[in-house]
Structure formats: structure tokens, C-alpha cells
Amino acid sequence: MVGSGWRMAESTGRYHLTIANPADHSFARASDGGPRLEAELGDDGSHQFLRVGDLAKLTGKTVRAIHHYEELGLIEPVGRSKGHYRLFDAETPARIRWISKLQSLGLSLGDIRTLVKNRQASPSALQSASQLRRTYEEKLVEVRTRLAELGALERELTASLAYLEACGTSCTPELTPTNCAQCDRHAEEEQQHSDLISGALV
């Protein structure tokens, strides 16, 4: 965009668009004394800025959740439109998806906020990457452990369903549920009940 400049935002370490030529682009003063973006789209369409509602549609998050992320400093608007709507850059949906995936990995918003602050406070990109790598390594161990647990549970469910399907062909209407624990109508290999079966028969 001709006549535009970039300044580093102290709070997030990300670049904010500022208008360098007031004669070509109207702008208002932000609370920190710096210029505030007024255009949502550049004349050539090369810069696209998103409102909170746009972010909600793109990420599947609620407007309330996105406002909360902003309050925590996890995302930050680059400015405001002429209608005073908060405007975010095109990279913000990726940040929101990152937040969502970290939550899926078990991190709280407080944990994520600490992670963001630690990255911002890192004296070098190398140290910042090292800190992030340690977090991801810990989560990878947890994910693999959980996958192993889910695999065992899947096998137990499969065996339990096979046992219950056999009940449909071996059982008779005159038997009551109290007879299930002593049932001898299953094949020998089915006599070793899984916890999912044994617990139900107690």
C-alpha cells in the first residue's frame, strides 16, 4: 500500500499498520497517541482487515470468546474502522485456531496467556522456539499416552460388543438379569469378561 508504514506493537510484538500520508487516508488518534487505522480494505485489496464477527464466522468461535481472547491479550486489533469497529489483521484467525488447539491439548486460557507472555519476553527467537518446543514435547507425550489408553478402550469395547451380540442369540426370555453373572451360554473364549461387562453384571 503506497504511503503506508509499519510500526512494532510493544504489547504483542506484531506489526501494526499505520497511515503515513493523512492526505490520502483518513485516520484517528488511538488512546496511546499513535495513528489508528480507518480503512478496512486497501484500495488494491492487498490488505484485508477483519471485524470480530468475521473472526467468529471464520473460526467457529463466539463473539464473546473472541472478546475474551482480546481482554487476555491473546489477540490484538490493529485499529478501528470509521464505524469504530475493532479491526484485526488476516493472521488473527490462525492465532485463534492455535488457541483452540492448545485448549484441546489441555491448556487453560491462563496457561496460553503465560505461553504468549513468555514468548514476548524471550530475548531471542532461539530461546522463544526452545520454550515452545518444550511445551509441545510435553503435550506430545500426553497425547501418545492418551492414544494408547483409547486404543485399549477400543479393543475392550469391541470385545464387549461381541459378547453382547452373542447374548442376543444365546439368551432366552425366561432368564432374568440376575442369571447373567452365572451365564454359561457363551463360548469358552468369551468367559473372560472385560470390565465393561463384569461391572454391568455385578
Highest mean pLDDT among 3-12, 17-26, 53-62: 53-62
Tell me the DSSP string of 77-136. -SEE-TT--EEB-TTHHHHHHHHHHHHHTT--HHHHHHHHHHHHH-SSHHHHHHHHHHHH
Together in a domain, 88 and 156: no
Residue 104 lies in a domain: no
Distance, in Å, from the CA atom of 19 to the CA atom of 29, rounded to the nearest integer, reads 11
End-to-end CA distance of the chain: 73
Residue 114 lies in a domain: no
Residue 119 lies in a domain: no
Its domain, for residue 50, covers 4-93
> Considering only CA atoms, which of 34, 37, 36, 67 is closest in space to residue 52?
67
pLDDT number for residue 95: 97
Together in a domain, 89 and 9: yes
Q: For the whole model, what pTM was predicted?
A: 0.68
**Can you state the percent helix, strand and coil of the chain, rounding each to 5?**
50, 10, 35
Per-residue pLDDT of 45-74, as tens digits, reads 556 899 999 999 999 999 999 999 999 999
pLDDT number for residue 156: 93
pLDDT number for residue 108: 97
CATH number at residue 25: 1.10.1660
Residue 101 lies in a domain: no
User: Which residue, of 93, 127, 161, is where some domain finishes?
Assistant: 93
Number of structural domains, the chain? 2
